[in-house]
Structure 1
Amino acid sequence: CDLVMAAAGATFSTPFVQLGLVPEAGSSMLLPAAVGMAVANEMLLAGRVLDATEAVNFGLASRVFSSADLLGKVHATAINVAASAPNSMKETKGLIRHGRDQMLEHMQKESVLFAAQLKSTEFAEVVQAKMLKRMPIFD
């Protein structure tokens, strides 16, 4: 995401391992870059959920607004961005993203692991446990 703003009651989570899955869409690379390795590990491995203020403090979001104000603030920001010089915007975004050349390769690896995990007994156990409203049991 180019710009991330959150409502005061928003939460940010990555429940992959709790669902018997692995991260996908580059999240195992992007999240540590955004919030730092320690917080990313806590989120990805231990299921830590960040509230909106924590997300701002860790750099995952830029601003927090009340639910009532969020849409208006986002709209005003979108109007400001849309009024910017298009090529300048494109080149600036390219500069910000420069150095993420490994992202495609990383996402492909995540995709392979994610697909494999969907077929795993771990994932099947998580799904069954959720349906039966119990904790999963892993051998």
Structure 2
Amino acid sequence: MSESIQTDLSDGVLTVTLNRPEKKNAITQAMYEALAAATERCRTDDAVRVMLIRAEGDSFSAGNDIADFIALGSQASSPSDMAVFRFLKALADLDKPLVAAVKGRAVGIGTTLLLHCDMVVVAEDALLSVPFINLALAPEAASSLLLPRVIGHQRAFEMFALGQPVDGRTALAWGLANRAVAADAVDETARDLARQLATRAPNSIRKTKALMRDAEDMWSLMQREGEAFGSQMKSPEAMEAFMAFTQKRAPNFG
């Protein structure tokens, strides 16, 4: 398990912590492997009733580690071979409750991950964004379906196309979160919800969640998104966007 991902099981709640605060919890491929393993454990371990994902530091996640992506973009391997896809498959298959505690920025996968959560607690001043097009990429994690389903086509398209963040209060109003609270209350509020879920009839909860979502269709869409994401990741557009990002300038898409 990556040291940047920590896990703790207590009272039926598997708490998974993003622990790379010095990098705003940007997620590397090693971290995706650890997240996948934790999510698979949640599904198969009877001692786990609920999974809670949280983060150390002032950001939930800055999204994918951009250095990883520059390196991956130069390789010939298929996107489906990347560790992130193991994590996405685990999310699609997860039939136990998933709760998130979000403070600070949640960028890219930091926001699309929330679409797979059954309960989300955000800080009122949290900032959620999906700036894939700003990096000349494409949506992932079935967000091309789930985000418009939750907040409507026009709002979702604006979030994708312009990449501008929405704050925690807006996320609550739009249905992206169950609670919006002060930043210092996020973790305890999320833990309380997770503990409550852990006391409910486990088979009833799993069957209810399974009826509310189609795991096979979701995984099929994730793979189609992966093809679009992968082709863009290796494109001149994306290389320009990545270089502009690292050089702190606006990209020139000609």
* TM-score between the two structures when normalised by the length of structure 2: 0.52
Larger Rg: 1
Match of 1:19 in 2: 135
Residue 108 in structure 1 maps to residue 223 in structure 2: yes
| Identity percentage of aligned residues | 39
Match of 1:84 in 2: 200
How many equivalent pairs are there?
Answer: 138
CA contact (8 A) 2:125 2:169 kept: no
Residue 29 in structure 1 maps to residue 150 in structure 2: no
Q: What is the alpha-carbon distance in structure 2 between the residues aligned to residue 47 and residue 117 of structure 1? A: 17
Q: CA deviation at 1:71?
A: 1.4
Q: Which runs of 5+ in 2 are unaligned?
A: 1-116
Match of 1:126 in 2: 241
Q: CA deviation at 1:101?
A: 4.9
Deviation string, structure 1 residues 9-50 (Cα, Å, up to 9, x no partner)? 211110000011111111111100111111001101121311
Q: Which moved more, 1:37-46 or 1:89-98?
A: 89-98
Q: CA deviation at 1:119?
A: 0.4
Give the 3-state SS of the residue equivalent to 1:102 in structure 2: helix
Residue 40 in structure 1 maps to residue 156 in structure 2: yes
Higher strand fraction (1 or 2): 2
Question: Match for 1:56: what amino acid?
Answer: L
Q: CA deviation at 1:104?
A: 2.0
Residue 54 in structure 1 maps to residue 183 in structure 2: no
Question: Match for 1:115: what amino acid?
Answer: G
Q: What is the alpha-carbon distance in structure 1 between the residues aligned to residue 246 and residue 181 of structure 2? A: 36
Q: What is the alpha-carbon distance in structure 2 between the residues aligned to residue 47 and residue 22 of structure 1? A: 12
Superposed structure 1 runs of 4+ greater than 3 Å apart: none
Q: Which runs of 5+ in 1 are unaligned?
A: none
Q: CA deviation at 1:116?
A: 1.0
Match of 1:136 in 2: 251
Q: What is the alpha-carbon distance in structure 1 between the residues aligned to residue 176 and residue 209 of structure 2? A: 17
Match of 1:75 in 2: 191
Give the 3-state SS of the residue equivalent to 2:249 in structure 1: coil
* TM-score between the two structures when normalised by the length of structure 1: 0.93
CA contact (8 A) 2:120 2:190 kept: no
Q: CA deviation at 1:129?
A: 1.3
Q: What is the alpha-carbon distance in structure 1 between the residues aligned to residue 170 and residue 216 of structure 2? A: 29
